[in-house]
Chains A and B, each alone.
Chain A
Amino acid sequence: MSGLVCQENVGFLFSHGCGSPAAMTCMRCAMPLCEQHVTSVGAEMLCATCARQHDDYTGDRNGVDEDHPSYYYDNYGYYGAAASSGSGRAHDANDFTEADGASLRHEDDASFEEDMGGS
Chain B
Amino acid sequence: MAGRWLVYALGGGMGHLTRASALARAASRRGHAVVLLTNSPFASGLPLEDVLGTGVEVFRLNPALGREAVGEVVEQCLADVRPDLFVVDTFPRGLGGELVPLLPSVRARKVLIHRDVNPTYVKQYGLARAVDAFDLLLVPGEAAPFANHPRAVRTAPWLLLRASELLPRDKARARLGVPAEDTRALVAVMGCGTPEEVGEAGHIAARLDAMLGPEAVVRWLVPPGVAMDVPAPRAKQGRRAGASLEEGLALRMSTWPALAVLPGVDVLVGAGGYNTVQEARVTGTPFVALARPRLYDRQALRLRPEERAGTVEALVTRAAGLARARPARSTRPYVNGTDDAVTLIERTVLSA
Give the B-binding residues of A (Cβ under 8 A).
Answer: 1-5, 7, 23-32, 40, 43, 45, 49-50, 93-94, 96-106, 108-109, 111-119
Contacts and interface: CB of A to CB of B under 8 A. Distances in A.
Contacts of B67: 113-114, 116
A40 B236 CA distance: 11
Contacts of B104: none
Given A2-B231, A45-B236, A103-B293, A113 B311 contact: no
Given A97-B311, A112-B125, A117 B199 contact: no
A65 to B, nearest CB: 17
B240 interface: yes
Interface in B227-257: 228-232, 234, 236, 238-240, 242-245
Contacts, number: 148
Interface stretch (B12-20, B77-85, B154-162): B12-20
B224 interface: no
B7 to A, nearest CB: 16
B12 A117 contact: yes
Give the size range of B's interface with the partner.
Answer: 35 or more
Contacts of A30: 200, 203-204, 206-207, 242-243, 312
Interface of B: 10-13, 15-16, 39, 41, 63, 65-67, 70, 93-97, 118, 120-121, 124-125, 194-196, 199-200, 203-204, 206-207, 228-232, 234, 236, 238-240, 242-245, 272-273, 290-301, 305-306, 308, 310-313
Given A3-B199, A31-B312, A116-B66, 8 more contacts: A1-B234, A2-B229, A24-B234, A102-B293, A103-B298, A113-B125, A117-B11, A118-B11
